Amino acid sequence: MNEALGMIETKGFVGSVESIDAMAKAAGIQLVKQVPTGGGFLTIIVKGDVGSVKAAVDVGAEAAAKAGELVGANIIARPHPELLKSYGI
């Protein structure tokens, strides 16, 4: 499995939209879901090949930071199948 998961957490809707737009334009990734985690925080989950996810998360995190709403970003290369199953991915 050469897939990866990428996650970006933002505070507020504007940062998440900026981030998703930048990621979709930067690389061939698939938006899996956007999870509201409470208190105005949103986590965006994307998947794709490792290189595309890395490029997308880097660009998406930069876009969210410019909007002043980046909380964190992370990439999991080759996630365990049970992790994917637990999140319905």
Distance between CA 17 and CA 82 in Å, rounded? 29
CATH code assigned at 82: 3.30.70.1710
Containing domain of residue 78, as a range? 4-87
For 60, the enclosing helix (H) or strand (E) is helix 50-66
34 burial (CB, 10 Å; 0-12 / 13-18 / 19+) is middle
- Is residue 1 over pLDDT 70? no
Q: Given its phi and psi angles, is residue 20 left (phi above 0), alpha (psi -120 to 50 degrees) or beta?
A: alpha
Structure-model confidence comparison of residues 56 and 84, the more confident one: 56
- Cα dihedral: 58, 48, 5, 34 (round 10): 80
pLDDT digits (tens, 9 = 90+) for 19-73: 999 999 999 999 999 999 999 999 999 999 999 999 999 999 999 999 988 999 9
- The total of structural domains in the chain comes to 1
